[in-house]
Structure 1
Amino acid sequence: MNRSEGFTEERARAVLEAADGPRAARAAELLSLGENAVFARDDVVVRVGRDAELLPRARRELGVAEWLEKENVPAVRAAEPGARLVEGHPVSYWRRLPPSVRPATPTDLASLLRRVHALPEPPVALPRRELLSGVERWLRLAGDAVREEDADFLRERRDAIEARLPALVPHLPPGPVHGDALPRNVHVGPDGPLLLDLETFSSDLREHDLVVMVLSHDRYGLADDAFAGFVRTYGWDVREWEGCATLRAARETASCAWVSQHAPGNPAARREFDRRVASLREGADEVRWYPF
């Protein structure tokens, strides 16, 4: 079952109406529907969470936004300081961004990561970056749509990687990381690039944020010059670090398992899952993966 199943636009609008009144609910434009229903209204974006379990995460994300604003790091800003529970759903308010002036680049991302990675620990408590924590749940959601031997292979790979993680010796001082550091999580407005999607902010090895772009280059077709620009702007190539292969393997394993949950009833997801598992089994590090 998809995590957003049963969470419809109609239900989200009913929550919005309970929170802000019928006129505000009618005026809101639905931007996206997933774990959160995201509505735009005038200069505000309202996020309605799928269920009450997301309330602590919503509050943490708002705390991160407030902290980044105080530290003058360009990022999405909160319109109100706290999230509240309305009819069993967390509701939070954000400032609406102006239209983008151009697509974000890896260089934009690198400049923002440099600023985040220079920060000390925030006043809000951040979790560890548990890349592999969702593997079991995603494989369970996949059920019989993926071969049992493939699911077992990913579980064994996860366990082996988790056993290696405590021994990693970081090159960079550990601390706050974005957690899903990709250009798609950067918005370039009239005032320049800023960070989006603060829900994955964590406190862990800074190398986590850099390995993401290694995978983008090796698996998803990021051009050599674009990756070189990322490295040049950040100031260090994480591939020089001996722990890079372990963090890359962790993200690959998580990304493969994530696709599996979409395999039931979706042949394209099943084909992409099979492609990814086969490349991991064969140690074929340069086999192209496709976003899903």
Structure 2
Amino acid sequence: MDATDAKDTAFTEARARELLAAAVPEAAVADATLLTLGENAVFAVGGLVAKVGRDASLRERAAHELRVAGWLAELGVPAVRAAEPVVREAEGHPVTLWTRLGEPVRPAGTRDLAAVLRLVHELPRPDFALPRRELLGGVERWLRLAGDAVDPADAAYLRERRDGFAAAAAALTPHLSPGPIHGDALPRNVHVGPDGPVLVDLETFSGDLREHDLVVLALSRDRYGLDPRAYDDFVAAYGWDVREWDGCAVLRGARETASCAWVAQHAPGNPAARAEFGRRVASLREGDPTVRWHAF
């Protein structure tokens, strides 16, 4: 593992707080509350939410999220709003600021997700380029960050799966008309306020097959223990079940490959991540779609 990798794997809450203080000196960082720590460290800071990117390679993605947020605001789509339209930086790490939403009136459900997805899937393409949904684009980086914390044979297996599913996905014939999609369509990315559901986390907003957004919940049903009744509610509210589509297995396989590799980046120094990675890669190798994966 080289020096850059070592620095990346040291992206802890403490490190993220240092970067936040450098990028947003006007904020009371000492009072910031960590909300999540993954690709970004997300903090609540007073009336704002700050997102600190894990490394410099995420800068363009942060800028993209701000462009999408501005476009959705112009269209009146219920989505999170940027507090400022620029990407700040601290030692190369991107930092963006967002208007903090109020407390939710209730947890988001699958019908809420379906409602906002229907709005997104009716949007025309914007006047700026939306990237393809590169589900598999992060696999190499995540495996690189994993280093020797994962078996090299498992890493090679995932790279082979990545290449196979990338080729298969490129050849798919969609059922729905391609266009804007959220890219990570889960109830956790919907906030239900007094005026209804609001879409959050716009980093993976793309222009691609609408089926990408629908496969996410189908995989949640099969792998992560989503109640089948909740999935049925989603299908009823959206109006179509992606599992009826011939290409569903391909997009599902691509997403499983990416999800397995994503956990690998947390494996160094984290026994729970190593165990979950082992569970996931073993189930893929054995071709067993019934093995329950744990959210991480």
Question: Could you tell me the TM-score, scaled by structure 1's length?
Answer: 0.90
**Which deviates the most, 49-58 or 155-164?**
49-58
CA contact (8 A) 2:150 2:267 kept: yes
For the residue of structure 2 that corresponds to 1:58, the secondary structure is helix
Report the Cα offset of residue 220 of structure 1.
0.4
Change beyond 3 A, Cα 1:216–1:124: same
Contact 1:136 1:155 in 2 (8 A): yes
Moved more, 264-273 or 180-189: 264-273
- The answer to whether structure 1 residue 31 and structure 2 residue 39 are counterparts is no
Contact 1:220/1:290, CA 8 A, preserved across alignment: yes
1:15–1:89 CA contact under 8 A, matched in 2 = no
1:147-178 per-residue CA deviation (whole Å, 9 max, x = no partner) reads 22222221111111112122100011111111
* Paired letter, 1:8: A
Number of the residue aligned with 1:13? 21
Q: Could you tell me the percent identity over the aligned residues?
A: 66
The partner residue of 1:196 within 183, 200, 204 is: 200
Compute the TM-score of the two structures, normalised by the length of structure 2: 0.89
What stretches of structure 1 of length at least 5 have no aligned partner?
none
Aligned partners of 2:293 and 2:41: how far apart in 1? 29
Contact 2:8 2:145 in 1 (8 A): no
Question: Contact 1:46–1:93 (CA<8 Å) still a contact in 2?
Answer: yes
Letter of the structure 2 residue corresponding to residue 13 of structure 1: A
Q: Assess if the C-alpha contact under 8 Å between 1:139 and 1:260 holds in 2.
A: yes
SS in 2 for 1:199: coil
Q: Which runs of 5+ in 2 are unaligned?
A: 1-5
| Partner in structure 1 of residue 183 of structure 2 | 179
Tell me whether 1:215 sits opposite 2:208 in the alignment: no
Question: Counterpart of 1:198 in 2: which secondary structure?
Answer: coil
Q: CA RMSD in A?
A: 2.2
* Deviation readout 1:229-257 (Å, 9 max, x if unpaired): 00010100000110000000000011111
How many residues end up aligned between the 2 structures? Answer: 287
Range moving further from structure 2, 35-44 or 146-155: 35-44
Give 1:51-90 correspondences, 5 Å limit. 52-85=56-89, 88-90=92-94
Residue matched to 1:152: 156
Q: In the TM superposition, what are the counterparts of 1:43-122 in structure 2 within 5 Å?
A: 43-50=47-54, 52-85=56-89, 88-122=92-126
Compared with structure 1, are the counterparts of its residues 266 and 35 closer, same or farther at alpha carbon in structure 2 (3 Å cutoff)? closer
- The equivalent residue for 1:141 is 145
Q: Is 2:258 the counterpart of 1:250? A: no
Judged with a 3 Å threshold, the aligned counterparts in structure 2 of structure 1 residues 263 and 29 are, in CA distance, closer, same or farther, namely: closer
Residues of 2 paired with 1:138 and 1:208: CA distance?
A: 21
